[in-house]
């Protein structure tokens, strides 16, 4: 069985410390469609989410972040 995976990059407007970024990432990982979430302390405004597009749309992932009170937007590569 092949599972489609895509990446979406989120730009987070706030300057979050490592603990808060980890909390946001952990909440994103709770979604069934999400495979991984990556962020780096050197670039705290960027977060890459790998997910199955058959289970969710990128806008749903973004909304999940915004529901945490974080201001963010999707950026294209």
Per-residue confidence (pLDDT) for residue 76, from 0 to 100:
72
CATH code reported for the domain at 6-75: 3.30.70.100
Separation CA 23–CA 20 (nearest Å): 5
Give the pair of three-digit tokens for residue 27: 């909440």
What pLDDT score was predicted for residue 38?
97
Q: Which residues pair with 46 in a beta bridge?
A: 11
Region for residue 69 given its phi and psi (left: phi exceeds 0; alpha: psi -120 to 50; beta: otherwise): left
pTM of the model: 0.90
Query: For each of the chain's 77 residues, which pLDDT tens digit applies?
Result: 577 999 999 999 999 999 999 999 999 999 999 999 999 989 999 999 999 999 999 999 999 999 999 999 999 75
Q: Which residue has the tokens 């979604």?
A: 31
pLDDT score recorded for residue 77: 55
């Amino acid at each position: 069985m092949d599972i489609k995976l895509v990446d979406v990059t989120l730009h987070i407007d706030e300057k979050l410390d490592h603990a808060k970024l980890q909390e946001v990432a952990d909440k994103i990982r709770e979604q069934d469609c999400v495979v991984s979430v990556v962020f780096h302390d050197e670039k705290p405004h960027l977060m890459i989410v790998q997910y199955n597009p058959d289970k969710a749309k990128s806008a749903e992932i973004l909304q999940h972040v915004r529901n945490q009170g974080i201001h963010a937007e999707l950026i294209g590569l």
